[in-house]
Amino acid sequence: MTKKSGEKTVEERMIVGIDLGTSRSAISASNGKKKWVDSYVGWPKDFIARKVVGKPILFGREALEHRLSLDLYRPLKNGVIKEGTARDEEAVKELIHHLITLVQTKGEAEKVRAVVGVPAESFKVNKVAIKKAVADFAESLLVVSEPFAVAYGVNALDNAMVIDIGAGTVDFCIMHGTVPSEDDQRTVLTAGDYIDQQLFNFLEERYPHSDFNMNMIRRFKEEFSFIGEPERAIKVDIPVDGRPTKHDITEEMRRACESILPAIVESTLELIAKFDPEYQDIIRQNIILAGGGSQIRGLDEYLEGVLKEYGPAKVQVVDDPLYSGCDGALALAQDMPEDYWTEV
Ligand SMILES: Nc1ncnc2c1ncn2[C@@H]1O[C@H](COP(=O)(O)OP(=O)(O)OP(=O)(O)O)[C@@H](O)[C@H]1O
Ligand SMILES: [Mg+2]
């Protein structure tokens, strides 16, 4: 087939890696640009709201700030596109479109090739939904599990395990020199959002007269999260009867962060134990933590300590938890043989 003039070849076309997350979504493009947004999409509630916000649709932080004027959606729940409501599907589509426009150079209206990373076990459910969501902007698509994308990006392709600790899910993936199968992967639903909920409950119990919301709770966590021994007492300002008041939240923070450990330890041990016995030692020494939750202070040491009871162990944290997923997806997209792509 001859190439029409103006038609771009595969190499010229923009390639993007997208990490579609419950709380944050990030994109990394072959033109070198990278962007991320909080995974919020909002439409003005009525014509007054439309006038106030001045736009037909808002994303990320901006949407959150105007939430009182908006029908606000966080369209991914536990890493899966929420089913049933057309608006959630629409929101995912708008979010993906928004991410692509953030990295596209002006005037460049071409469709892109996209690799989209999603949580390991929701993989099958999401594949169809994502295909629908990107159909208008991408001409070819590949959906991969998020921890696989991370593993690819940090070149941990053989005898390694990636643990991606996100907001909705913790995703595990063992790499052994091939594309991982379902058996090599696990998803656990107690992740960052669960910590927030726990912290909220603990603080509500201890300080029943103080005024806080989930947003503040998440901010506290992202600033002070830790497990094990605290470096110093954690004190935050929370209003009581309208007056900012210092609250000690050290113990509650520790308990909330530690609440996700049992499931993580169990899945890690289980995945290693059912792997080829001759390779278990090597995998245990090549564990990589990714995702926002990998920032919890003391988490890597704790896991390493637990694993050392079984033999030599080493746990590392990726350098850039925000972009490691989409960077990996982009790298994968650039290396992917033609026959792996799905036309959309
Ligand atoms: N320093 C920190 N300590 C603890 N948790 C943090 C920190 N920074 C970010 N997080 C949490 O990490 C989570 C976001 O991580 P990430 O962006 O990897 O998730 P996601 O991709 O949106 O979610 P998922 O992968 O479950 O769909 C949120 O729960 C956020 O509060
Ligand atoms: Mg994620």
Flag whether pLDDT at 6 surpasses 70.
no
| pTM score, whole prediction | 0.90
Q: What is the pLDDT of residue 12?
A: 66
Q: Which of 126-130, 133-137, 152-156 has the lowest mean pLDDT?
A: 126-130
How far does residue 22's CA lie from ligand 2's centre (Å)? 7
Question: Of residues 111 and 93, which shows the higher confidence score?
Answer: 93
Which atom of ligand 1 sits closest to the CA of residue 195?
29
Tally of residues, the chain: 344
For residue 123, give both structure tokens: 């993989």
Tell which residue, 173, 202, 205, 168, has the closest CA to residue 293.
168
Tell which residue, 113, 133, 119, 156, has the closest CA to residue 333.
113
CATH code, 15-153+324-343? 3.30.420.40
For residue 2, give both structure tokens: 């001859």
**Pocket lined around ligand 1, Cβ cut-off 6 Å:** 21-24, 76, 79, 119, 146, 166-169, 191-193, 218, 221-222, 225, 291-293, 295-296
* Residue % of the chain over a pLDDT of 70: 91
Q: What is the pLDDT of residue 4?
A: 46
Which atom of ligand 1 sits closest to the CA of residue 169?
26
Q: Please compute the mean of the pLDDT values over residues 241-263 and round it to a whole number.
A: 97
How far does residue 23's CA lie from ligand 1's centre (Å)? 7
Q: Express each pLDDT in 185-210 by its tens digit.
A: 888 999 999 999 999 999 999 999 99
Flag whether pLDDT at 8 surpasses 60.
no
Q: What is the pLDDT of residue 197?
A: 98
Question: Of residues 180 and 302, which shows the higher confidence score?
Answer: 302
How far does residue 193's CA lie from ligand 1's centre (Å)? 8
Q: Please compute the mean of the pLDDT values over residues 132-147 and round it to a whole number.
A: 87
Give Cβ neighbours of residue 247 (< 8 Å, ≥ 6 apart).
Answer: 203, 207, 210, 235, 236, 237, 238
Q: Please compute the mean of the pLDDT values over residues 248-272 and round it to a whole number.
A: 97
Fold of 158-190+261-317: Nucleotidyltransferase; domain 5 (3.30.420)
Flag whether pLDDT at 314 surpasses 80.
yes
Q: Which whole-number Å values give the CA distances from 168 to 52, 81, 84, 191, 208, in the listed order?
A: 32, 12, 19, 6, 27
Q: What is the pLDDT of residue 125?
A: 63
Instruction: Report residue 123's pLDDT band, with 50, 70 and 90 as the boundaries.
Output: low
How far does residue 192's CA lie from ligand 1's centre (Å)? 6
Q: Please compute the mean of the pLDDT values over residues 298-310 and round it to a whole number.
A: 97
Flag whether pLDDT at 84 surpasses 70.
no
Q: Express each pLDDT in 229-245 by its tens digit.
A: 999 999 999 999 999 99
CATH code, 192-258? 3.30.420.40
How far does residue 187's CA lie from ligand 1's centre (Å)? 15
Flag whether pLDDT at 216 surpasses 70.
yes
Flag whether pLDDT at 11 surpasses 60.
no
Q: Which whole-number Å values give the CA distances from 264 to 108, 185, 254, 343, in the listed order?
A: 43, 13, 16, 36
For residue 252, give both structure tokens: 């509650």
Start and end residues for every CATH 3.30.420.40 domain found in the chain: 15-153+324-343, 158-190+261-317, 192-258
Q: In whole numbers, what is the pLDDT of the chain averaged over residues?
A: 90
Q: Whose CA is nearest to atom 2 of ligand 1?
A: 222
C-alpha 203: how far from chain center: 26
Q: Please compute the mean of the pLDDT values over residues 206-221 and round it to a whole number.
A: 96
Q: What is the pLDDT of residue 264?
A: 98
How far does residue 9's CA lie from ligand 1's centre (Å)? 37
Q: What is the pLDDT of residue 108?
A: 64
Question: Of residues 153 and 337, which shows the higher confidence score?
Answer: 153
Query: Which residue of 39, 81, 221, 324 sits with most ligand 1 atoms within 8 Å of its CB, as the best mutation to test the pocket?
Result: 221
Question: Of residues 37 and 343, which shows the higher confidence score?
Answer: 37
Flag whether pLDDT at 121 surpasses 80.
no
Ligand nearest to the CA of 323: 1
Q: What is the pLDDT of residue 107?
A: 65
Q: What is the pLDDT of residue 2?
A: 42
